[in-house]
Amino acid sequence: MTAVRGPAAGPVTDPVLGDPVLDNPVWASLTGRHAHLAERHGLAARYQPDVAPFVALQDAADPRAWTDLADLLGPGVTVVVTSPVLDVPAGWQAVERGEGVQLVDTHLQAGPPGADVVRLTAADVPDLLDLTARTAPGPFLPRTVELGTYLGIRREGRLVAMAGERLQPPGWVEISAVCTDPAHRGQGLASRLVRAVVHGIRERGEHPFMHAAATNTNAIRLYEALGFTLRRRTTFAAVRTPDA
């Protein structure tokens, strides 16, 4: 593993708040930079099952997109849909619904990673899966690490904190999987890693954004304190395709 260093870049300003690509970022990512990790059928797309559990519709109000999604997934399959409209058609089952928030970086002061921040790779997947299983930052699967750059901090060889990149719609990179081992919280590790990930995103001339569950008020307060601004509220649902 290699330590990550480099100069900081400047913050993003308010005009990016209106970028419509963020209204359907999963679709924009699956049909853009992450197309090599996608499976697509007509107006529907999904991440390969061992990469991420998300699917997207070009237009969730279009019944044809739901038909394409059912054809893509097959009968009786449960996935997470984050498209803007979540009124599922007849035959589909909404297994679980949740509310979230989407935040964008408007004034975060990023800094270069410290010497103890390392880039995580496929070789670190067992440790990544262990940490995310214990801290539940959101879905993390065996190939999630392929979505972007993941950074971590180890203590006595054990991975105790991490953060990385997930969705990548044009011009944007989502920060995700921010988590810290309970025994190492209160040391500012998550904040340091978020700043480091932001640093790398800005170096590429792109803008950071994030999603969080609306109920995770502590995390939202942390992200707003770091320099993220609420862009919009979101809805997500676990849905089950019609049975054969």
Residue 8 is predicted with a pLDDT of 40
pTM: 0.90
**What residues form DSSP beta bridges with 218?**
none
Residue 235 is predicted with a pLDDT of 87
Residue 85 is predicted with a pLDDT of 59
Domains by residue range for the chain, with CATH: 22-99+236-240 (3.40.630.30), 102-234 (3.40.630.30)
All residues at 6 or more sequence positions from 8 whose CB lies less than 8 Å from its CB, including other chains = 109, 110, 111, 112, 199, 202
In this structure, the chain runs to a length of 244
Residue 14 is predicted with a pLDDT of 53
Nearest to 196 by CA among 1, 8, 13, 11: 8
Residue 244 is predicted with a pLDDT of 75
d(CA 199, CA 112): 7
Residue 110 is predicted with a pLDDT of 85
d(CA 69, CA 66): 5
The Cβ-side half-sphere exposure at 148, using a 13 Å CA radius, reads 26
Q: What is the pLDDT along the chain (244 residues), one digit of tens a residue?
A: 333 333 344 444 454 677 999 999 999 999 999 999 999 999 999 999 999 999 999 999 899 999 999 999 999 999 989 866 567 899 999 898 889 999 999 999 888 888 999 999 999 999 999 999 999 999 999 999 999 999 999 999 999 999 999 999 999 999 999 999 999 999 999 999 999 999 999 999 999 999 999 999 999 999 999 999 999 999 888 999 999 7
SS3 128: helix
Give the DSSP per-residue string, 153-201: EEETTEEEEEEEE----TTEEEEEEEEE-GGGTTSSHHHHHHHHHHHHH
d(CA 176, CA 100): 14
Q: Please answer whether residues 204 and 165 qualify as being in contact, where contact means their C-beta atoms are separated by less than 8 angstroms.
A: no
Residue 11 is predicted with a pLDDT of 43
Q: Please answer whether residues 242 and 92 qualify as being in contact, where contact means their C-beta atoms are separated by less than 8 angstroms.
A: yes
d(CA 43, CA 237): 18
